[in-house]
Amino acid sequence: QNEGALAFKRIVVTAGPTHEPLDPVRYLANRSSGRQGYAIAEALADLGASVTLVTGPTDLRSPAGVTIIRCETAREMQAAVSRLENLDAAICTAAVADWRPATEAGQKMKKKERNDAPAPLPLVANPDILAEISSSGSSRPTLVVGFAAETENVEDYARAKRLRKGCDWIVANDVSPAANVMGGHENQVILITSDSSEHWPRLTKEDVARRLAMTIADWFSSKTEY
Ligand code: C5P
């Protein structure tokens, strides 16, 4: 019955891991599957939003009704996001690598001798896409939502992260191995806003996505009612 609740809203969703190359055959990455972000993109589109999904490498099928932009590194993801204009909302679910190798070797790095000591691996910081969107001034989307994957003190760390990043809401989840969230099919989240925190039950990632999409639709409609 909520079909069309997000009609005319332009929303970007970032999803998946990023791959940060060391050389032509090696990269640094993480265990994100992209599943939660893809489900959110699809749920928002189901409510009529015009959704662009900017995704790192995953093996998921493209969600129906969504414009998909594929990228590999954090810097490519940042560039793709920054080209989008007039966004009403940004939902940053991507597990962007915090650091990347300082240099990318043009050729495969070779071991010379059998007992070679490993080369040091200098890293440099990647751009923080969520923090940049949150502080983008007059072009800032009305609603910016970040995710916080934590393995302990989930709610406290996530509250602090909301303030540090400057986003409006944070969806916090426990990614400790026991919770089996990273790469799994279910998620248990806390939705943190400036003045509330809502503990949701353990749900499939699709159900978390639908509930988040409805919450976003309700938020937009409460803003325009008065
Ligand atoms: O700092 P941390 O990685 O824990 O923050 C997680 C949130 O920030 C997520 O919403 C993630 O998509 C976003 N993020 C980002 N760019 C980064 C690092 C994180 O957009 N370089």
Compute the average pLDDT of residues 99-114: 91
**Binding site annotation covers 111?**
no
Q: Is residue 2 part of a domain?
A: no
Could you tell which of 18, 130, 135, 174 is best to mutate to test the pocket of ligand 1, judged by most ligand atoms within 8 Å of the CB? 130
pLDDT of residue 1: 55
pLDDT of residue 179: 83
- Residue 149: give its domain's CATH number: 3.40.50.10300
**Binding site annotation covers 128?**
yes
Instruction: For ligand 1, say whether the CB of 94 is within 6 Å of any of its atoms.
Output: yes
Instruction: For ligand 1, say whether the CB of 84 is within 6 Å of any of its atoms.
Output: no
**Binding site annotation covers 108?**
yes
d(CA 154, CA 208) in angstroms, rounded, equals: 17
Q: Residue 225 — pLDDT band, cuts 50, 70, 90? A: low
Q: Residue 92 — pLDDT band, cuts 50, 70, 90? A: very high
Would the pLDDT of 3 be above 90? Answer: no
pTM across the whole model: 0.95
pLDDT of residue 118: 84
Beta strand segments in the chain, E: 10-15, 20-23, 26-28, 50-55, 67-70, 89-92, 99-101, 123-125, 143-150, 169-174, 186-187, 189-192, 197-199, 203-204
**Binding site annotation covers 60?**
no
Q: Supply the angle between the helices 35-46 and 205-224 in degrees, to the nearest 10.
A: 40
Would the pLDDT of 224 be above 80? Answer: no
Going by CA atoms, what residue is nearest to atom 6 of ligand 1? Answer: 148
Query: Does an H or E element contain 226, and which?
Result: none
Going by CA atoms, what residue is nearest to atom 17 of ligand 1? Answer: 128
CA of 90 to the centre of ligand 1 (A): 12
Pick the residue with more confidence: 116 or 76?
76
pLDDT of residue 226: 58
Q: Is residue 4 part of a domain?
A: no
Question: By percentage, how much of the chain surpasses pLDDT 70?
Answer: 99
Q: Residue 175 — pLDDT band, cuts 50, 70, 90? A: confident
Which is it for strands 203-204 and 186-187: parallel, antiparallel or unpaired?
Answer: antiparallel
pLDDT of residue 84: 98
d(CA 159, CA 139) in angstroms, rounded, equals: 24
**In terms of Cα–Cα distance, which of 188, 187, 148, 142 is closest to 168?**
142
pLDDT of residue 62: 96
Q: Residue 153 — pLDDT band, cuts 50, 70, 90? A: very high
Alpha carbon of 153 to those of 55, 76, 158, 185: distances in Å? 28, 32, 8, 23
d(CA 166, CA 163) in angstroms, rounded, equals: 5
d(CA 6, CA 50) in angstroms, rounded, equals: 8
Compute the average pLDDT of residues 37-60: 98
Going by CA atoms, what residue is nearest to atom 2 of ligand 1? Answer: 148
* Residue 124 β-bridge partners: 100
Mean of per-residue pLDDT scores for the chain:
94
Q: Picking from 31-45, 65-79, 177-191, which range would have the lowest pLDDT averaged per residue? A: 177-191
- For 75, the domain range is 10-101+123-224
Number of domains in the chain: 1
CB 15 within 8 A of CB 36: yes
Instruction: For ligand 1, say whether the CB of 74 is within 6 Å of any of its atoms.
Output: yes
pLDDT of residue 176: 85
Would the pLDDT of 101 be above 70? Answer: yes
- Has 115 been annotated as catalytic? no
Going by CA atoms, what residue is nearest to atom 21 of ligand 1? Answer: 128
CA of 112 to the centre of ligand 1 (A): 38
pLDDT of residue 116: 85
Q: Is residue 113 part of a domain?
A: no
pLDDT of residue 88: 98
Q: Is residue 111 part of a domain?
A: no
Interface ipTM: 0.97
Q: Is residue 3 part of a domain?
A: no
Would the pLDDT of 26 be above 80? Answer: yes
* Residue 192 β-bridge partners: 170, 197
Compute the average pLDDT of residues 99-117: 90
